[in-house]
Structure 1
Amino acid sequence: MNTIDVDIHISSDELQCAYEGVGTVFAHSLDGRSMRFPIKILWQFIGHDGIHGRFRIEYGMSGQFERVTRIA
């Protein structure tokens, strides 16, 4: 399984856009790679001020999403 670590900071206002149809997040990993993924994988981490933290995204050999974990 492959992993990528990203820092995510999405305000509650930006999350409102996601509810209205913007369904992807573009982020740069800690090692400089860029990636795009569906915001729905982060729904479990929504707080009153949005989604903030460092996350590890795990994906299979075909690039298919497997799991996301908050690491900081």
Structure 2
Amino acid sequence: MEPKQSVYSFDQQLKLCQLQTEVDYLLQQMLEIKQNLCLLDQNPALQSNHGREQIKSKICKNNSFS
């Protein structure tokens, strides 16, 4: 049985894997930021200004990162 050949070269497969890893990392960072901002809603003492409050509200209401 012959090994299955990929449509993509090894270099392309490696680059795709690196990009997928980077995307996964960035998505994880976005989720952590969202969680941290939403925690502000539970602890008003951490809120430092009105602008941050507006951003937090928009992110916490929008579940596009989850």
TM-score, scaled relative to structure 2: 0.26
Larger Rg: 2
Higher percent of residues as helix: 2
Higher relative contact order (CA 8 A, sep 6+): 1
Higher percent of residues as strand: 1
